[in-house]
Amino acid sequence: MNKIGLIIEREYMTRVKRKSFLLTTIIVPIVIIAFYAVIIAVSISGESNTQRIAVLDEANLFNGKIETPAKDKSSYFFIHDETEQSFKTKYKDEGYTLFLYIPHSYNKDSGQIKIHSQAAVSIFVKADIEKKINEAVEKKRLLAANIDPDIYKKIKADIEVENTIDSGKGEQRGIAGVAYAISFIAGILIYMILLIYGTMVMRGVMEEKTNRIAEVIVSSAKPFQLMLGKIIGIGAVGITQFAIWIVLMSILQLIIPFIFPDFFQQISNPAVMSNPGMQQVNPGKMVTIIQGLHSLPIAKMVLCFIFYFIGGYLLYAALFAAIGSVVSEDQNEAQQLVFPVMMPLILGFVIMTKAVNDPDSGLAVFGSLFPLTSPIVMMGRITFGVPAWQLALSMALLVLGFLFFTWLTAKIYRTGILLYGKKITWKEMWKWLVRKS
């Protein structure tokens, strides 16, 4: 029907052409990424390149010598005949960027090892120095205990446990952590999509009602066409926005390494990454994550995401449209009326947070089948492997739910948009529902 086409076109074009759309679609992700980039850049940049570090080693931890690998840009200089207090004022003038002070006794009670600097030391430099000190201390203690450091290295254990899932397709690499994160993100994303674009539909309907254009339009097109056109048009705006975001993200991901080459150098530096103070990730684990990502059912996830995105959106948009149609001018009223629609949405979110921890619990299974919560909860379960029958049932129920709720809400919508200046009660809405058309 080309009337729906026209309505979709209008809903889509007026929104996409708006300045605010451009702003949120293009500038927001750039701002977010730039924000993180700046944070990262600040934390790793500055003195990290070529540090001249003055070391006052009162405890004689290093025996006057610090091993520096070739790629290490920092250089260490031992100083003598100074105290922390006396040298603190001088190191900058003598051309040092940092001043490392190691007191005679360096346990927590009697005094700590300190790095003096003019500005905050980057985490990478700090981690590097800490690592060197810890190695030196370990070596000293081993010698004191009469243990050969080489033998100790052989004894030290660093064992990882792997989890394999015995699904029909043979063994899969353990992916608990990765699956957890991806599920959670996908669930939140769907939740936000439903909320943001659902509200957009509601506001659009309210606009039509308060502007009194609804009656003008329904003398040309059926209310149902108007409602469906709006829902699809705004859905298309959402898809456009996501497509632009994905493209922008990918471009930025390609560009960032060129802008901040140091960052990736540092990240790939195992010495820094493996430091326990820094991050619980070592190169071995990085590989596991990447392998985990590869072993995830990516194609299935993407397809499910698209399906639940569209299905969930259509269902909730219909509900939000109905709410928008019964709201009179009062904004507070909208908040009251929208509450019953928000409930299942929030419920879905809560079940999803449980489902990522225990994907096969009864609650999670129920939540992923019930059409009002399934878009969110199923995305939370999908990475853990969901039986095919559950997925099929969930999808079928979602489609049925969408048809049912659209039919139901169209009845409310049809009456609601033409009723002005009157507060509509739940009882009246119920009457509209049961009334024969």
Partner 1 sequence: MQNILEVQHLKKYFATQKAVDDVSFNIEQGSIFGMLGPNGAGKTTLLRMITGIFFPDEGSITFEGRKFDAVNDIIRIGYMPEERGLYKKMNIGDQALYLARLKGLSKAEAMEKIKFWFQRMEMETWWNKKVQDLSKGMSQKLQFVTTVLHEPKLIILDEPFSGLDPVNASLIKDEIYRLAKNGSTIIFSTHRMGEVEEICDHIVLINRGSKILDGTVKQVKQDFKENLFMVGFEKEPGVIEPNAVFEISGTKGDNIILKINEDYKPHDVLQYLLGKGLEIISFHEILPSLNDIFIRLVEGTPLARQFKAIDA
Map residues 380-419 to x or -, x wherever contact with partner 1 holds by CB under 8 A: --------------------------------------x-
Pick the piece of the chain touching partner 1 (CB under 8 A) from 163-171, 172-180, 191-199, 220-228: 220-228
Q: Are 394 and 400 in contact (CB under 8 A)?
A: no
Residue 217 near partner 1 by CB under 8 A: yes
Nearer to partner 1, 53 or 206 (CB): 206
Q: Please, which residues have CB within 8 angstroms of residue 49's CB and are 6 or more apart in sequence?
A: 73, 262
Query: At its nearest, how many Å lie between partner 1 and the CB of residue 397?
Result: 32
Nearer to partner 1, 125 or 200 (CB): 200
Pick the piece of the chain touching partner 1 (CB under 8 A) from 180-188, 208-216, 381-389, 402-410: 208-216
**What sign results for the dihedral spanned by CA atoms 82, 86, 87, 93?**
negative
Query: At its nearest, how many Å lie between partner 1 and the CB of residue 207?
Result: 8
Pick the piece of the chain touching partner 1 (CB under 8 A) from 7-15, 296-304, 344-352, 393-401: 7-15
Residue 211 near partner 1 by CB under 8 A: yes
Query: At its nearest, how many Å lie between partner 1 and the CB of residue 210?
Result: 8
From 410, 406, 404, select the one nearest 437 (Cα to Cα): 410
322/293 Cα distance (integer angstroms): 41
Nearer to partner 1, 207 or 360 (CB): 207
Query: At its nearest, how many Å lie between partner 1 and the CB of residue 328?
Result: 12
Full DSSP string of 149-216: HHHHHHH---------EEETTEEE---HHHHHHHHHHHHHHHHHHHHHHHHHHHHHHHHHHHTT-HHH
Residue 6 near partner 1 by CB under 8 A: yes
SS3 55: strand
Q: Are 411 and 437 in contact (CB under 8 A)?
A: yes
Residue 220 near partner 1 by CB under 8 A: yes
Phi-psi sector, 385: left (phi>0), alpha (psi -120 to 50), beta: left
Residue 221 near partner 1 by CB under 8 A: yes
Query: At its nearest, how many Å lie between partner 1 and the CB of residue 22?
Result: 15
Nearer to partner 1, 3 or 300 (CB): 3
Q: Please, which residues have CB within 8 angstroms of residue 169's CB and are 6 or more apart in sequence?
A: none
- Residue 120 token pair: 């905050």
| H helices, E strands: number in the chain | 18, 6
320/415 Cα distance (integer angstroms): 15
CB hemisphere CA count around 24 (13 angstroms) = 12
Nearer to partner 1, 17 or 80 (CB): 17
Single residue of 38, 42, 120, 216 touching partner 1 by CB under 8 A: 216
Nearer to partner 1, 5 or 177 (CB): 5
Map residues 160-199 to x or -, x wherever contact with partner 1 holds by CB under 8 A: ----------------------------------------
- Residue 381 token pair: 């379960």
From 180, 186, 165, select the one nearest 359 (Cα to Cα): 180
252/33 Cα distance (integer angstroms): 8
Query: At its nearest, how many Å lie between partner 1 and the CB of residue 415?
Result: 10
Map residues 16-35 to x or -, x wherever contact with partner 1 holds by CB under 8 A: --x-----------------
Q: Please, which residues have CB within 8 angstroms of residue 219's CB and are 6 or more apart in sequence?
A: none
Q: What is the CA radius of gyration of the chain?
A: 31
Pick the piece of the chain touching partner 1 (CB under 8 A) from 86-94, 331-339, 395-403, 429-437: 429-437
Residue 329 near partner 1 by CB under 8 A: no
Q: Which of residues 243-302 bind partner 1 (CB under 8 A)?
A: none
- In order of 47, 72, 82, 111, the CA distances from 54 in angstroms are 14, 16, 11, 19
Residue 139 near partner 1 by CB under 8 A: no
Residue 203 near partner 1 by CB under 8 A: no
Single residue of 34, 41, 142, 218 touching partner 1 by CB under 8 A: 218
- Helix, strand, coil abundance in the chain, percent, nearest 5: 65, 5, 30
Q: Are 101 and 129 in contact (CB under 8 A)?
A: no
Nearer to partner 1, 1 or 192 (CB): 1
Residue 213 near partner 1 by CB under 8 A: yes
Query: At its nearest, how many Å lie between partner 1 and the CB of residue 420?
Result: 6
- Residues binding partner 1 (CB under 8 A): 3, 6-7, 10, 14, 18, 207-208, 211-213, 215-222, 418, 420, 428, 431, 435, 437
